[in-house]
Amino acid sequence: MLTLNDVTWLDVFLVCVGVYLAKQVFTKKNPAPYPPGPAGWPLIDNILDMPRIKPCLTFAQWGEKHGDVMHVQVLGQHIIVLNSVKTAMEMLDKKSAVYSDRPVFPMGGELVGFKDALPFLSYGDRFRRYRKNLHRAIGNRAAVDEYKQIEESETRRFLKRVLAKPDQLQEHVRHTAGAIILRISYGYQVKENNDPFIDLANRAMDGISQATTPGAFMVDILPLLAYVPAWFPGAGFRRMAREWREILEEMVSAPYKLVKDQMAAGIAPMSFTSNLLEGRDVSAEEDHIVKWSAFSLYGGGADTTVSAIYSLFLAMTTFPDLQKKAQAEIDAVVGPDRLPSFADRDSLPYTEALVKEVLRWNVVSPTGFPHRVTEDDVHDGYYIPKGSMVLSNIWFMLNDQRTYAKPSQFNPERFLANDGKEPEIDPRTICFGFGRRICPGLHLADASIWISAAMSLAVFDISKIVENGVEITPEFEPSLGSTSHPKPFKCSIKPRSATALGLIQQDAN
């Protein structure tokens, strides 16, 4: 990985001088001041201010001094940081026509190749065609209802895996999330163990998280470094990009080819991909769009689901009294003789609130995915120049005491109407992003998280482990990356009763 230590300060200085001189020649007078922010330095702007680790925390600290809309500049690139739900909705939702583009990502987008996936796609015709495909399949709860049987049957298999090997919880969560999305996307039924597509997908998603972490690669700050040969000293990032690109290309192409081969043989199961291809002679452009739409469906739902479900088990380990409340509700509504289903969802308000609090507690995408401004704008008296990158500090929005009472506490009841108090803001209106770039897989992810929570709590007691006579409380320490996952932790997972054991051992449909 090429870091600041691998680039001489003379290199940086010369680039900064060039940028500074260009600014002096070509900069026009602004119609309004930039939003406030760290002052920066002559020539180098805010390059030394930009955080490389957990930027959401630094942005929150800046917000205490500078407010909800902040501005920094790095080598001529304007960066706008939004620190409140109100400003995000005013700019990214209400002005979505000019705030919906994506910046160029030299590492993750260009070198690794994720630029063709929906989250990275520039706003335009191809973007709209991807979204149209995805909206038909998972764009609302009614569409997602078509996949309830898949969700429920794969979650039953998840319970069996956890029962057999509870110490491999994280692996089971990933396996199940992948199994659901692969069945929906490609009609592919995963193998119980060592499935090649599950392994491939996990490596691809890990690559995208690492490659898109803000500040992790110097090439994202100095794009010219993309032309450095892979053999050059300090160019390890080029070799990493090549490795991740190979994984990505196989993940995008292999399951897609499988569907086309099955369709040619007349044996293809119904799926998102087969529905788009059925009875059509697709052009090369349409073939590209269908292939990458299917991959984007996987990417839009799997990683969010994995992070949230693993976080649920961590929360239940840490807060056993809240687990008992949810179990009491499920016992009263569902009873001991069957597993919960989606038909029970409206009758389980505490379980619903618990899922919401998990999404607020561990923010899956702490700084969201950057937007890019396509036209000059003046917002609330501040100048937002064309080409600005806009970051939403979603972590802070979900931990803002102006929005959530005692945000550091894990408290599902904040989302229930109690003692005349209105429920607090549903985190699902925040954590999946804003405007026309909102996550297209949000309804599918929400359904997967809920059914996993309801079924798991119905049959399992989740508790702290005891080592050498000492009860171990796991630490909540999210991983680094553009997607946040709790670090691996240990917990005890046991059937609640002999009846619960029988429900787990029932065959999945």
For residue 2, name the pLDDT band (cuts at 50, 70, 90).
Answer: very low
DSSP helix/strand/coil, 428: helix
Binding residues for heme: 439
Percentage of residues in the chain having pLDDT higher than 70? 93
- Average pLDDT score, the chain: 90
For the residues 136-165, what does the mean pLDDT come to?
Answer: 93
446 residue type, one letter? D
Q: Quick one: CA dihedral 57, 59, 63, 67, positive or negative?
A: negative
pLDDT tens-digit map of 164-213: 999 999 999 999 999 999 999 999 999 988 899 998 888 888 888 788 87
For 386, the token pair is 């064309």
Nearest to 174 by CA among 196, 199, 157: 199
Tell me the CA distances in angstroms from 157 to 108, 153, 458, one per residue in order. 34, 7, 15
C-beta atoms surrounding 379 within 10 Å? 17
pLDDT tens-digit map of 251-281: 999 999 999 999 999 999 999 999 999 987 8
Percentage of residues in the chain having pLDDT higher than 90? 70
Backbone angles phi, psi at 311, to 5 degrees: -65, -35
Cβ atoms of 358 and 323 closer than 8 Å: no
Binding residues: 439
Predicted pLDDT at 141: 86
Cβ atoms of 448 and 178 closer than 8 Å: no
For the entire predicted model, the pTM comes to 0.89
Cα–Cα distance, 361 to 315 (Å, whole number):
9
Cα–Cα distance, 395 to 418 (Å, whole number):
26
Enumerate the β-bridge partners of residue 45. 41
Predicted pLDDT at 498: 97
Q: Mention every residue, 6+ apart, whose C-beta is less than 8 A from residue 273.
A: 185, 186, 187, 255, 256, 259, 290, 294
Residue 5 pLDDT greater than 60, yes or no: no
Q: At what angle do helices 125-138 and 284-318 cross, to 10 degrees?
A: 50
Tell me the CA distances in angstroms from 319 to 124, 188, 311, 455, 461, one per residue in order. 46, 37, 12, 18, 12
Cα–Cα distance, 194 to 230 (Å, whole number):
33
For the residues 456-461, what does the mean pLDDT come to?
Answer: 98
pLDDT tens-digit map of 31-88: 899 999 999 888 788 888 888 788 899 999 999 999 999 999 988 899 999 999 999 9
CA angle 376, 380, 383 (to 5 degrees): 30
For residue 4, name the pLDDT band (cuts at 50, 70, 90).
Answer: very low
Predicted pLDDT at 300: 65
For the residues 314-328, what does the mean pLDDT come to?
Answer: 98
Nearest to 289 by CA among 130, 75, 101, 483: 130
- For the stretch 281-293, what's the b/e string if a residue is b when 16 or more beta carbons lie within 10 angstroms of its beta carbon? eeeeeeeebbbbb
Q: Mention every residue, 6+ apart, whose C-beta is less than 8 A from residue 283.
A: none
pLDDT tens-digit map of 279-312: 878 899 999 999 999 998 877 667 789 999 999 9
Nearest to 39 by CA among 57, 65, 64, 15: 65
For the residues 448-465, what does the mean pLDDT come to?
Answer: 97
CA 232 to chain centre: 33
Tell me the CA distances in angstroms from 346 to 252, 323, 342, one per residue in order. 37, 19, 8
Tell me the CA distances in angstroms from 418 to 21, 29, 347, 414, one per residue in order. 61, 54, 17, 8
Domains and CATH numbers, the chain: 103-367+406-505 (1.10.630.10)
For the residues 111-122, what does the mean pLDDT come to?
Answer: 93
Predicted pLDDT at 470: 92
For 313, the token pair is 């088990």
DSSP helix/strand/coil, 138: helix
Cα–Cα distance, 36 to 59 (Å, whole number):
13
DSSP helix/strand/coil, 195: coil
Predicted pLDDT at 14: 58
For residue 45, the surrounding DSSP H or E stretch is none
pLDDT tens-digit map of 371-405: 999 999 999 999 999 999 999 999 999 999 999 99
